[in-house]
Amino acid sequence: MNYEHIENVTSADIAVRVKAPSYSLLFKYGAEALMSEMVEDISAIQGIISRNGMLTDEDISLLYFEFLNEFLFFKDSENLLLVPSEVEVSSDGNLYSCIYALKGQKINREIHKFNADVKAVTLHGLRIYRDNGLFIAESVFDV
């Protein structure tokens, strides 16, 4: 597990902290944390359907927020459970970009046991920083 719960941030929602050596892995681990909080076993999500995209933002924290909310968008709009297969985060100095490839399948309640229905990734408590050579993201999931 590449994340941990953060206590005393919120009483009703789920707060998590993700650590990684790069922004690309930070985004990947953040998405896996989000999906792991929703679905009991994300390894049960088969890579049958693909979705690709690119997001940009001047603020890395907002880009992370937008990226994680993509998973919820696909869940709610297309009934898809997706996990990241490739994530590349880069910066040209003024703008961060995230190019991603996601794989997954339609929700099947017989296969996918839900822990929680995350409604949104919130801006409350959202921050990305660097400590001891690692990138760290803290975020809150609204359930």
Give percent above pLDDT 70 in the chain: 97
Mean pLDDT of 73-79: 97
Q: What residue segments make up the domains of the chain, in order of their start?
A: 24-138
DSSP 114: B
Confidence class for position 13, pLDDT limits 50, 70, 90: confident
Q: Which residues pair with 106 in a beta bridge?
A: 80
State yes or no: pLDDT of 2 exceeds 90.
no
Instruction: List, for residues 16-75, the tens digit of each pLDDT value.
Output: 999 999 999 999 999 999 999 999 999 999 999 999 999 999 999 999 999 999 999 999
Residue-level pLDDT at 25: 98
Residue-level pLDDT at 10: 67
CB 33 within 8 A of CB 2: yes
Residue-level pLDDT at 56: 98
Give the domain 24-138 fold.
Answer: Archease, Possible Chaperone; Chain: A; domain 1 (3.55.10)
| Nearest C-alpha neighbor of 124 from the set 107, 142, 108, 106 | 142
